[in-house]
Amino acid sequence: MNTPSRLAKVRLMKLSKEQVLKIANLARLKLTDEEVGRLSDQLTDILTYVEVISELDTKLVTPTSQVTGLSNVVREDVVTEQLCSPDELLEASPLPKDEHQIRVKKVL
């Protein structure tokens, strides 16, 4: 999957406006037409630039996601300290509150 040839295929692609809109949907971003046009060029430039990493053979290399060797840091599932009250957290919301809950637009 990670062979240079797999990446070489990606390189040929220039992001279309449709693809930009598809990514924007995944990221829940509303973009203006002007932003879509600009991002189509800029994302292509950035993706072309980062493809330099495809020239390295990494078949035998383990990926790094954590740099100090920690894994599975766990603790007892109990409340240890309370930094603030639930109502203080609700205060941070710009939406109306109703019985200690945030009132949102209908989902469906």
Partner 1 sequence: MDLNWLSITEAHLGLKEKKFSAKDLVLSCLDQIEKTKHLNTFITLTGDDALKQAGEVDAKIARGEEIGILEGIPAGVKDLFNTRDVRTTCASHMLENFVPPYDATAIARLKKAGYLLMGKTNLDEYACGASTESSYFGPTLNPWNREYVAGGSSGGSASGVASGQFYFGMGTDTGGSIRQPASLCGCIGLKVTYGRVSRFGVTALASSWDTVGPFARNAQDIAIVLNAIAGNDPLDATSPIVAVPDYTKNLTKGVHGLKIGIPKEFFAEGVDEDVRVAVLSAIKEYEKLGATLVDISLPMTKYGVAVYYVTMPTELSTNLARFDGIRFGHKPDGEVKDLYDYYTSSRGEGFGAEIKRRIMVGTFVSSAGYADAYYKQAQKVRTLIIQDFAEAFKKCDIIMAPVSPTPAFRVGAKSGDPIAMYLADALTIPASAAGIPAISLPCGFSSNGLPVGLQILGPQWSEDLILQVASAYEQASSWHNMRPSFK
The 10 Å CB-count burial string (b at 16+, else e) for 39-56 is bbeeebeeeeeeeeebee
Distance from C-alpha of 67 to C-alpha of 61, rounded to nearest angstrom:
15
Residues 46-75 that bind partner 1 (CB under 8 A): 46-47, 49-54, 56, 58, 61-70, 73, 75
Residue 7's SS3 state is: helix
For residue 88, state whether it binds partner 1 (rule: CB under 8 A): yes
Under rule CB under 8 A, residue 95 binds partner 1: yes
Residue type at 50 in one-letter notation: V
Per CB under 8 A, residues contacting partner 1 are 1-2, 6-7, 10, 15, 20, 23-24, 26-32, 35, 39, 42-43, 45-47, 49-54, 56, 58, 61-70, 73, 75, 80, 83-85, 88-89, 91-95, 102, 104-107
